[in-house]
A and B are shown apart, each in its own frame.
Chain A
Amino acid sequence: MTDSLATWLYAVTAAPEGGAPPQGLTGVADEPVRLVEKAGLAAVVGSVPLEEFDEDALRGHLEDLEWLERTARAHHRVINGVARQGQVIPLRFATLYHDDDRVRAMLQERREDFAATLRRVAGRTEWGVKAYVDPRSFLPDPDEPAGGEDSPGTAYLLRRRAQRQDQETAHLRATERAEEIHASLAALAVATAAHPPQDTALAAYEGWMVLNNSYLVPDGLTEEFTALVTALGERYLAFTLEVSGPWPPYSFTAPPKREGQEGQEGQEGEARPKEAPS
């Protein structure tokens, strides 16, 4: 029976007092979601058919946008549902074990890590903020058109070079302002994480995305934080700010990096969870 099933992990939580499984949640294979408990922790899991979720099948599915969207949303829906009942540690998409016993062994082995992470995210919520600009707002004032002495070829090249320099200047100006926005937001957060800018085509925006960050905000400061985003949008008129959330703490569950220890290709090479000085 278990030959054809595997255990998909959604999240880890503190073991609930009553040991009650989440009610009515279904997962990536429409399977009912249940709890596997060990060491004071509970893994939120589902049994999924191996033929659709083993490594080879997954590799193929990940290239299929419809499958990916449906499955990513299902994964998120479960984590979100569990988050409503208490603090969760979301697991990376596509974490699969052969059976529940292996999950228990994993919980036992990593209980210290999980407990520390639960303490770190308790009473805090992830918010995403993106900022876009229209590059034209940051371009230097156009200079006098170049005199007519140069040959057309030279004039063309000079113009091209000037344009490129203007673009660089504009980008620098925009990122400097974006850093100011980030600094204001970070003041209300206990940790921040930077995601790479999203592809223009995928995210359907024009111009430059100069901020795509996550902020771990104490629950007591939620209103202040969203109000600050609005206020910053009014202060920095050249920016379009977009806030998303609340999210389960997806971007803040990696163990904090120790100083001088770079290691593990730093999550997209970009995401840099860092604790704010207290």
Chain B
Amino acid sequence: MTRAIERREVALVDLLDRVLAGGVVIAGEITLTIADIDLVRISLRALIASVRVENEEEERGGREGVRHDG
């Protein structure tokens, strides 16, 4: 099950490497400012947020991290 999810995620990041960071860059008339911004960075925030949610859910259902004092 996890594997299937991982597969999908991997395909998505490969896609984002290309769709968001690649292709001919022509500043469109409507997206002048967005074109200047690193689209990948914008979207990665969303990606990271979603991965965190998944991890937290996983942790809640399972093992706890080892804790060191000091």
Contact = CB atoms under 8 A, between A and B. Distances in A.
A and B physically associate: yes
Interface stretch (A16-24, A170-178, A198-206): A198-206
Interface residues of A, number: 56
A114 B37 CA distance: 23
Contact of B17 (A9, A90, A198): A198
Interface of A: 6, 9, 12, 50, 53-55, 58-59, 62-65, 68-69, 72-73, 75-76, 89-98, 102, 106, 110, 117, 126, 128, 130, 195, 198-199, 201-205, 212, 214, 242, 244, 247, 250-251, 253-254, 267-268, 271
Given A92-B22, A253-B23, 15 more contacts: A62-B34, A62-B39, A63-B42, A72-B19, A90-B18, A90-B22, A94-B35, A96-B29, A128-B17, A198-B13, A201-B55, A202-B13, A203-B9, A214-B18, A251-B22
Contacts of A271: 21-22
Given A195-B21, A212-B17, A253-B22, A53 B43 contact: no
Contacts of A203: 9-10, 13
Contacts, number: 145
Contact of A254 (B9, B15, B25, B28): B25
Nearest to B22: A250
B25 to A, nearest CB: 5
Given A97-B28, A204-B6, A253-B24, A63 B44 contact: no
B24 A93 contact: no
Contacts of A96: 28-31
Nearest to B40: A268
B48 A55 contact: no
Contact of B43 (A68, A201, A267): A68
Nearest to B14: A244
A202 B49 contact: no
B9 A204 contact: yes
Given A58-B34, A63-B42, A96-B31, A201 B48 contact: yes
